[in-house]
Each structure stands twice: as structure tokens, then as C-alpha cells.
Amino acid sequence: MVENFRGILHSDLSFDELELKLSKKFEPILSDSKKEPKIRPFLFKKEIIGKTRVAEIGRMLKSLFAYKLYYLVLAINFVLLMVFLFTSGKEYLTLDNVNLMTIVVVYVAILLSTLFHEFGHASACCYYNLPPGAIGVCVYLNMLVFYADVSNVWHLSRDKRIVVNLGGVYFQMILLIPLYIAYYITHSDLLAYLLLSFNLNFIVVLNPFFKFDGYWILSDLLGVPNLRKRGIEYIMYCIKQIFGKCVGEKPYFMYYSKATRYVSIVYSIVSIVFIGFVLLYWMPMFTWHFVLNTPHWYQQVLFYISSGEVNWKFISYLIPQLLFMACIAITYFSIFKMFTMQLMANIRYINYKKIMVGAVMLLAVVPNADAQQQGDSLGLAMEDSTFTLSTVVVKADKVIKKNDGITIIPQKGQLRLSTDGFDVIYGIMIPGLDVDRQKGSVTRLGQDVAVYINGEKANNAELRNIKPSSILRIDYIDIPSGKFINNPISLNIITRSGTNGAYYAFDDTQYIGYMRNTFNTTAQWNIEHTKVSLFAGNDLSNFGNAGSHEREVYTFPGRSVLRATDILDNRNKNNNQYLQFDVARSASTYNMGVKVSVVRDEKPSQEVSGRVFIDDSGDKAARFSSEGSSSRSFYPEVNAFGNIVLGKGQMLSANVDFSYGDNRYNDDIKEEGYRFFSNVNEDIWQLKNFVSYSKMVKSQKFSVVVKDNYTRSNVRYMGSVALDQHFYSNEGMVQTGYMNNFCKRLMLNLQAGASWLLYRLEGAKKTSKVLPRSSVTLRYTPFEHHAFTLNANVGNNFPTLNTFNQVSLGKNPFLLHRGNAEQDITRIYNIGLAYNAFLKNFNCQLMLINNTYIHLAVPRYVVEDDVMISTYTSDTDLHQYLAVFFGTWNITGSLALKSELAYIHNDFNGYLDKSKDTWRMRLDATYTYKNLMFNIYGKIKECCLENTGIEENDFFRWGTTVRYNLGRWLVEIGANNLFTPRNYLNSNYSDANYGYARSIFSKMEQANAYLKVAWRLNVGKKVNPDSNNSSRIYPSSIMK
């Protein structure tokens, strides 16, 4: 048959060449019509030198193949390599002399030699009068390499094809000869590493088990195309014959000689064993080793960064580890993707008609996302810079998945059964958010979440007074940009706008089990585009907290003191009022407003008394102690804000906030033979400025944010300590951001900037520091409802105002408390990997996070003049590792579950040397039926090590809530920790000089209940009530 085709084609063809030609013609006809998914071998591929130019250069260099000079070059290289290895080459296997220049030069040299390598293949083609293809660059297994198109090489005989395949290595060997000569003259370390790298590169290229030059050379030597595939086919054929199964047609190997078959079979078996060894043993073992050593390597990197040192030996060891790990990750991902694509292709081939019908039906019943967004306020429209990917149904009317987060449109039933913003946020059940409706907080992994309303930052009182039915949607932003750039996680609540009318509301909550009452009232008038709002509220409490215990150990030179305290009475009183007046005006291209608020907070006559037992090195005594304290704060604040649309895709936002605080604090501590009395008066001024600019250009967004916070505090201490103290600080920050959606599946967000802190406490040295901050986020969406996010951050945390205080305040006869104005600024390094799944009725998030804090401020106890001083030190580093699962599951349209499972490992180094593992688990269930809602939650006992180094042991918590809507009225009854024994929050801390163990009793944490009644009234047209912006948290530098 072969001879007949030779005559017809007038060509001297071998069997494998004939097979190749026939397969090209008949395979498209004989193959199944079902197309297999194409797997791209390259992550990136770009032609850089056209085939015409390649042919010109190839013809110039083809003479290097004349007279079989490659034999001479190979012999010379072999001799020079042996001399190098047996003389001085072994010295460089330890990498002791590697530095940054060596790494860069070696990498660039190998890259350029690879380009010359490809010209070797092209020149060999020209030598045999075969036109070469183009030369390009590609990313293969995360490495930048060059490639040459020599697909026409199959027109040559096997001997000539071997020469073409060896042409690349031959050209690189030509380059090595002058390098050997230069090394023997100079004995340069750089040249030695170049020689080693080139020869290692030869080993990789000539490896026949991967499809590099070595594979094609072996394939040509045996005359078997698709060598590995044919060998495996023949092995499977033989196995089927042994077991008597139907073998079908004979494999191609049956037409080759016995010698070729035997060699090919041996190669296939060895290849399978080799690849199996790599995939199933070496790669998993390397990955396991990498995971085990990553924390240690990460700590070393941060140590070298913080100390300013450079360890090139460590870097030269770490870089190959990272490159190998990247290759392994890409390999595993490619295998997974190939398997998934094959599976999806099979499913589509069978059921594509049913899927298309289902998709059409889904599009017919799901409302259009753009239609849902009509009527948004100005703040939303200007900040909405995300890109919609898909929609899925969860515990809301709709969840729109975006590249920078999700947008949630709440159900009408949720809004109807909510009394404030915290109820709404809790009800939509965003995975990972922890909403405490009693205390009024929104957190994620223990960190506060920034909440905005129509683009303006909100607070507790604001969320307490928002009208739930006015909420249009909530944007959950976990990749920040624009004015949200400074918040890792943000919620932006968007409300409907209104024209003329009025709105009145109040709510009252009475707690049962301890005396506390909260009351809020709202009035708002809308006149066309102007809104005038008045807010007021009150929080009263008066209850006892007797029952706490404390055990302290003091270690003084030559003696130790044991002190045990039992609290017999602890009267807690609080009286807080706020008043706020707002005027705001909005139009199509701007909105601006002014807010004036006043907060008064008073804690009159706080009385604490207890029995104290002291063992001072065997000298025991029992006595009583008491502490009477009171405080009053008056805090007026003026805030002006504005948002202006400058043009298409451009927005400018500005905010100026001025506040003044008048703080008064009295404390009187008495114990047998001891008294410490203090009367503190403080005046504190704060000026905060914020400006942000953002611009959208197609799929790209550019952002710039500038912040400046100025604080000045004047404090007068009277009593046991008489002192005037003056403090000022100025904290500035510039942050730039760039966000780009390269395609539907890939999004990049970059942030870079700097923080500037200037502060001075009278009597201490002035401190001024500028520190960089940056963030890189990469989000990849391989499938419609699945996303992977890789994030890395570098930031800093400045010490809080009251920890600078240098005044020594007495706590008992053995203990004084004092701040530290010489603290270092904490550097924060964060890296995390997250997986999100947005399915029809189930959403989940899996996260692996590492947080590292360098120079973390923790308590420190030192002995001065036979008294223990409680202060702060920043000589501690914290390495924190988290593995977290968040999930929400809508079992039915009325029943939903929300869960959290987390593992946390904290490892302190430096002044504190301790570590602890923590498990956290919480489950919430919500059931709604018409105007009734029932909720129950539970949280297991948690033992954790806080970032301050204090170990806290919580107790099992649970609670339930029932709400009922009666039109304008809404009634809520709740209970917490019913049928539980006395609950204590236990904490302990210890260092070389001091330690304590506390059991804190609080009526608020015991079995209790509450009744809440809310009333709302709209007059005239429907309006959107402004939320209460009055902050009930006031700043102070007083150390209490």
C-alpha cells in the first residue's frame, strides 16, 4: 500500500509520513461531530518576528550547519564542561555568591539564549530549503519563553528532522564556548552561574518525557509520530488481549518492526511511571513541603523587610520554590479545567436543547437589572462602577454578582418586618457578615465593616433611624475603589428619592432583666429637591453588675504579691441624648448638605465596691475597696459634604467635619491606707477633610483619595496628680487606585499610596513618619457562578490617642497605669485566597488568610519604685492564620440558614511569646410567614487569643426574636441566653512581672428579654427619610 501511494504522490514516503498525510485528510471526516474542548497550552502567545524576517536571518545563519560542524561544537563543549566541573564548578552548587544582579542577569541571559535557540531551529529549516515559520513569545507554565513555528518539518526525512530539533541546542552550545573562555580568564562568579544555568537548561530541553526537543528527537529516531499516545494504545491493546476482551482494530504499532515496538513500549512505560511519579508523588510532596514552610518563609521575608536587611542566599533559595509552586498550581488547575471542560462538553452535547429552553425561560421571568436600578439616588449612580456578570436567586429579590462584590435587592417582606438598618442587613444574610442588632454593629472576622447610605458614611444612630421600606438595594463591596478605597469591606445602602411631603417616626425599646430604655424619633420635610431633617434620641440605663472576680499576681524584686478581688456591688448608670439637624439639596449632577449635631453623654455616680484578699509574701490581709467615678461629655459637630458629577464617568466628592469635645471625668479609688483621686477636664478639637476623585474609562477606573485628620487636645489633671497636658496630631493619607476588567473572567485592582503621621505630646519628642501602603487584588471567574480572589495588602496602624498619655493614674496600692508616647507604628501585611460560589439557593465563601503585624502594641508591666506600671510596648509581632467558611442556604422561600465556621491560629513573637488555636462556629435560622418573622441563633463557646495578647474565654450564646407587622406599627419581642446559668466573660494575661485572671459578670450577658415598638407615618407623597447622622461616640485622649 505504501508503495502504491509513493507512486501516486511521486514522493519517497515512510509509513509514519504517509500516516500523517492521510490522517490530515480523513480525520475531520471520520471523527465524531462532537467537538472536544480546546485546551490552550499557553497562557499567553504573541508573534514578535514574522516568518519573512525569520527566513532572512535563517538564511544568513544556515551555513553553521555545513560540514557537520555541530559534531565539533558538541565535542568542544563536552571537554570544556568536564574541565569546568572537575576544577571549580562544584563551588557554585551552594549558591553562596548569589545576589540580585546574578539572578537578573542569569534570567535575562537564558531568555535571550532561548531566542537564539529558536533561530537555531529556523536556520536548520533554511539549510534544508524548508521555509521556517514565525518566532514569538509565550507564557508557558508561568515562564516567559520564545517559540519557533517549524510545523513544516514533517516534509523532511527523519534524519533531517533530528538535525532541526537539535538546532536550538546546537546554537546555544555555540554561545557557551566564548563564555567558557571568558570564565577561565576572569574566574567570574557571574559567568560560572551562567554556565551552570545553560547546562541545566539543556537537561530540561532534552528531557524526552515532556514535549520539548528531546521528545521530538526520540520520536524521529524511532519513526513514530505521537510516540507516547501510540505506545499507550499498544499497551492497552496487549492488556485487552491478555484478558480476552474485544480489542477492535489493530493499533498502529502492529505495522512497525519489533525493535521499534519494544523500544517504544519501554519508553511509554517509563514515561507513564515518570509522569505518575511527578504528578502523584513529587508534586504533592513538594506542595506539602511548601505549605509547611510557607509560614516560616513568610516570617523571614517580613523580618528582612522590617529590618532593612537583604539575604541573597535566602532569596536565591526562595525564588525557585515560588516558581516551582506556581508551575504546580497551574498544572493542577489545567488538569482540573480540562476535566471540567470535557465534562461540560459532554453535557452540552447531550442536553444543549434543554439548557437553551431553560435559559430562555429564566430570562423571561427574571427582571432586568437595569430596570431595577431606576430611581436610584445621585450618590449611587455616581459610585456604581462595577460590572454585572450574572444574577442568581438568594435570600432577596435578586443578587447581582459583580466583579467588586454583589448588589442585593431585599425582599419586600424583609423590609416590612425590619425596624432599622441593622435588621435589613441581618435579614439579607450576606455570607461572612456578623450583625449584632442589640449592640448595633456590623463586623467581618472581628473587624468593623464601613456602612454608607447613598455614598455617605453612616454610624450606629444613622442606621437606627433609617426607614427600612425606603431601601432600594445594598451594595456589598469587597474590592474597594473610588471613595470606598480605604475600607476593605463596605456596605452602601441605596434609598429611594422623593419630592414633597413629610415623614414622622419613633421607636422605643425596653429591656427586661435589667433597666435600660432607648428611644429615637425622626421628623423630615421634603420640599422639591431640598430635605430638612430633625433627629433626637435618648438612652437610659441603671442596673447592678455585682459578681465579678479578679485574681492578680505581682512579681517584685525579692517578693511576690497575690491579690484577689470579689465585686460586691457595681452600679451602672448612663444617660445619653443626641440632637441633629440636617439640610440637604440634590439635583441631577450634584448633591450637597450640612449636618449639625449635638451629643450629651453622662455617667453619674458609678459605684464599685468589693472585698480584697492580699497575700504579700506570706503577709495576709483582707480589706474593702471602693471606686466612685462619674463622667460627662458635650460634643457638638458640624459636617458639610458634596458630590459632583464633573462629566461622563467622572465624580468628585468632598467632606469637611469639625467637632469640639468638652469632657469631664472624676475618679476616686479608696482602699485601706490608700486613695487616688483625679479630676480631669479636657478640651479636644478635631478637623477632618476628605476629597476623592474617580474617573471611568471603558472597563477601567482611576481613583485618587486624599485625607487629613487634625486633632488637638488640652487636658488638665487635678487631685492626686496635678498636671496640664497638651497633645496634637495630624494624620494624612494619599491613596491612588486603578481597577481594570481585562475580560469577563479577570479583574485587577491596584492601590498605592502613603500615610503621614505627625504627633507630639508635651514633654515627649516630636514624631513624624511617612509609610507606604499598597494593595493588589486579582479576581478570576472561571465559571459563571464561581470566583477566586487573590489579595495582598501592605498597610499600617497608628497608635490610638489615649495610649500616648504619659500621666500615671493609680489603680490600687500596687498598680499604676501610664501610656507610652514612644510606640512604634504597627506595620500590617496581609495575604489571602478566597473562593466564592453563588448558586441558586446556596452561597458560600471559603478563605485562607495570613495576617502579620510587625511592632504590635500590647500591654507591658514594669516595676518602678516598688510599684507595678501598666503601660504599652510595640516590641511584639503577631502572625495570624485563618481558615474560614461562610454559607447561606435558602431551604424554602420562607426558611433560610446562615452559618460560620472558622479556625484561627495566633502566634506571638517578641515581648510576648505565646500561641493559641481557636474554633468559631455560629448558626442562624430565619422563618417568615406573611407579617410574622421568627429568628433564632446560636454561637458555641469560644476560647481565643486577642490581638492585644489577652486570652478570652466566651460562653455559649443563643437568642430568639419574633416580629409582627401591624401596618404603621411594628412589634418585636426578643430573648437572649434563656435557661442558661450565670454567664461570665473570662480573660487572663501574664508576662514576666504581672498576671491576672478575671471573670466579668454583666447583666446584659445574662438571661434577658426586650420589647420594641416602632411607628412610622408618611404625609403627602412618599418620601425617603434621611438617616440619622448623629454620632454617639465622642473622641477623648483621657486615659481612664
Cα 436 to Cα 471: distance, rounded to the nearest angstrom: 20
Residue 341 pLDDT class (50, 70, 90 cuts): low
> Residue holding cell 450574572?
390
SS (H, E, C) 609-665: EEEEEEEECCEEEEEEEEEEEEEEEEEEEEEEEEEEEEECCEEEEEEEEEEEEEEEE
CA–CA distance, 507 with 732 (Å, rounded to integer): 39
pLDDT digits (tens, 9 = 90+) for 58-105: 888 888 888 778 888 888 888 888 888 887 756 665 656 666 677 788
In percent, how much of the chain has pLDDT > 70? 83
Residue in this structure with the C-alpha cell 513544516, named with its chain if needed: 152
Q: What are phi and psi of 8, to 5 degrees?
A: -70, -45
pLDDT in tens, 294-315: 777 777 777 776 666 667 677 7
Q: pLDDT (tens digit, 9 = 90+) per residue, 174-213?
A: 988 899 888 888 888 888 888 888 888 888 888 887 777 8
pLDDT reading at 451 higher than 60: yes
936 compared with 89, residue with greater pLDDT: 936
Helix axes 69-87, 189-205, angle to 10 degrees: 130
CB atoms closer than 10 angstroms to residue 531: 23
pLDDT confidence tier of residue 380, bands split at 50, 70 and 90: very low
How far is 565 from 549, CA to CA, in rounded Å? 6
- What is the average pLDDT across 43-60? 84
Is the Cβ–Cβ distance between 1018 and 503 less than 8 Å? yes
Pull the grid cell for residue 252: 498502529
pLDDT over threshold 70, residue 1036 = no
Residue 971 is placed in which grid cell?
Answer: 412589634
Q: How many CB atoms lie under 10 A from the CB of residue 628?
A: 16
What's the mean pLDDT when you consider all of the chain? 81
pLDDT value at residue 98:
66
* Cβ 610 vs Cβ 493: under 8 Å: no
Q: What is the mean pLDDT of residues 717-746?
A: 87
- As a whole number, mean pLDDT of residues 494-509 equals 82
Question: Using CA atoms in the order 353, 355, 361, 365, what is the torsion angle rounded to 10 degrees?
Answer: -170
SS3 917: strand
Q: Which amino acid is at 784?
A: E
3-state secondary structure 2-36: HHHHHHHHCCCCCHHHHHHHHHHHHHHHHCCCCCC
pLDDT digits (tens, 9 = 90+) for 922-935: 999 999 988 999 99
C-alpha cell at 580: 441633629
C-alpha cell at 941: 463557646
Backbone angles phi, psi at 304, to 5 degrees: -65, -35
Query: Sorting pLDDT into bands at 50, 70 and 90, what band is 339?
Result: low
Residue 524 has pLDDT above 80, yes or no: yes
Q: Which pLDDT does position 604 carry in this prediction? A: 86
CA gap 440, 952 in Å, rounded: 22
Return the pLDDT at 141: 54
- With 0-12 / 13-18 / 19 or more C-beta atoms within 10 angstroms meaning exposed / middle / buried, residue 48 is exposed
Going from the N-terminus, what domains does the chain have, and what CATH number goes with each?
A: 36-223 (no CATH), 539-1020 (2.40.170.20)
Q: Which long-range contacts (CB under 8 A, 24 or more apart) does 917-921 make?
A: 918/942, 918/943, 918/944, 918/945, 920/944
What pairs with residue 1008 in β-bridges? 976
What's the chain's Rg over C-alpha atoms?
Answer: 36
Q: Which residues of 834-866 are buried (b: 16+ CB within 10 A; e: fewer)?
A: bebbbeeebbbbebebbbbbbbbbbbbbeeeee
What's the rounded mean pLDDT across residues 946-958? Answer: 92
pLDDT score recorded for residue 243: 67
Instruction: Pick 952 or 29 by higher pLDDT.
Output: 952
**Helix/strand/coil for 100:** helix
pLDDT value at residue 959:
94
